Amino acid sequence: MFKLQWKHLGLALALMLTLLIAACGSEEEGSSSSAEGNDEGSEEVNYGEELGYEITGIEPGAGVVAAAEETTETYENLEGWEVVTSSSGAMATALGEAIDNEEPIIVTGWSPHWKFQKYDLKYLEDPEGVFGEAETINTMVRQGLQDEKPEAYKILDQFQWESADIESVMLEVSNGTAVEEAAAAWIEENSDKVAEWTDGTEAVDGTEIELAYVEWDTELASTNVIGQVLEAQGFDVTITPLDNAVMWQAVAEGQADAMVAAWLPGTHASQFETYGEDVEDLGPNLEGAKIGLVVPAYMDIESIEDLTPAE
């Protein structure tokens, strides 16, 4: 009696499984054939299904992740979508793998970044403006730095470069060069620019300077470059990688002397609101920065609004 029941159950389960596999198989076929046949317009491509309704994020503390999470609430068509956080490195690996296989992927992206030099990518249009407009990357120093370490203050104040500069350092690093080496090479090749940063300052003898940063590709490059420039002027420089909010807090509370990683007005708006009054804003060290959702150019989609909600 028992045996018989089990047997029936086994049969029923096997049947269900077969049906399920068949259903999944036909669904997959359906979605891939619509992805290939793009003559019917981008609405036909259900990337959401292929992506499991997931956006590939970076570190949880990043402003671009917070903004991406906001898009899933602002855009009705992103109902059921999720931003999966990891690290900037993991995002870059996932992007590279997707591109190698010509698969779809949506990442939380930003410029300047080497990925735009290495791959053919595009920002998805953001008609609701969740990611904001062009941004600047500003230098923030602790209060009292000007009085206590005027030479460092002046160099940090004069530090300013272009997207092409930082991208060339980042590209080297992404190709496997140690960041210290890439920074040193850039400094050597750009002595005119560096001379403008140190203009009017005198060398010091071992004054300690603590720079805070986050291990984003941009910040790794900029912090190493300005750190080495300070070192060449006689400073004893320590660079400390922290979480985004902790980086802001460290400068606000004076544990760190400075950071060159404040993305404003949008990306770090909430950190600026919390800590802005306790730091000194030395203004942009780079203009024309941007954040948003980034996809490979081969994806048949132009706007965040083209994505379809999870079923």
Q: What is the 3-state secondary structure (H, E, C) of 78-131?
A: HCCCEEECCCHHHHHHHHHHHHHCCCCCCEEEEECCCHHHHCCEEECECCCCCC
Question: Per CB under 6 A, does 218 bind ligand PBE?
Answer: yes
Is the distance from CB of 238 to CB of 206 less than 8 angstroms?
A: no
Residues with Cβ within 8 Å of 26's Cβ and at least 6 positions away in sequence, in order, are none
Shortest spacing between CB 265 and ligand PBE, in angstroms: 13
Q: Which residues pair with 280 in a beta bridge?
A: 141
Number of residues that bind ligand PBE (CB under 6 A): 11
Question: Per CB under 6 A, does 116 bind ligand PBE?
Answer: no
What is the 8-class DSSP label of residue 190?
T
Question: Per CB under 6 A, does 267 bind ligand PBE?
Answer: yes
Site string for ligand PBE, 128-167 (x = CB under 6 A): ----------------------------------------
Question: Per CB under 6 A, does 248 bind ligand PBE?
Answer: no
Q: How far apart are CA 230 and CA 25, in angstroms?
A: 60
Among 81, 186, 197, 216, the residue binding ligand PBE under the rule CB under 6 A is 216
CA distances from 99 to 48, 51, 102 (A): 17, 14, 5
Nearer to ligand PBE, 154 or 290 (CB): 290
Shortest spacing between CB 63 and ligand PBE, in angstroms: 3
Nearer to ligand PBE, 92 or 183 (CB): 92
Nearer to ligand PBE, 64 or 307 (CB): 64
Shortest spacing between CB 204 and ligand PBE, in angstroms: 29
Site string for ligand PBE, 44-73 (x = CB under 6 A): --------------x---xxx---------
What is the 8-class DSSP label of residue 38?
G
Nearer to ligand PBE, 35 or 225 (CB): 225
Shortest spacing between CB 152 and ligand PBE, in angstroms: 23
Question: Per CB under 6 A, does 110 bind ligand PBE?
Answer: yes
Question: Per CB under 6 A, does 244 bind ligand PBE?
Answer: yes
CA distances from 240 to 135, 213, 258 (A): 24, 6, 11
Question: Per CB under 6 A, does 78 bind ligand PBE?
Answer: no
Question: Per CB under 6 A, does 171 bind ligand PBE?
Answer: no
Instruction: Tokens for 99, please give them.
Output: 């591109």
CB atoms closer than 10 angstroms to residue 182: 23
Nearer to ligand PBE, 73 or 189 (CB): 73
Q: How far apart are CA 161 and CA 249, in angstroms?
A: 25
Q: Roughly what angle, to the nearest 10 degrees, separates helices 217-232 and 163-174?
A: 100
Shortest spacing between CB 95 and ligand PBE, in angstroms: 14
Q: How far apart are CA 77 and CA 218, in angstroms?
A: 31
Shortest spacing between CB 64 and ligand PBE, in angstroms: 3
Among 47, 123, 159, 263, the residue binding ligand PBE under the rule CB under 6 A is 263
* Alpha-helical runs (H) found in the chain: 2-36, 47-51, 63-74, 88-100, 115-118, 145-148, 150-158, 163-174, 179-189, 191-198, 217-232, 244-252, 269-275
Question: Per CB under 6 A, does 291 bind ligand PBE?
Answer: yes
List of residues contacting ligand PBE (CB under 6 A): 58, 62-64, 110, 216, 218, 244, 263, 267, 291
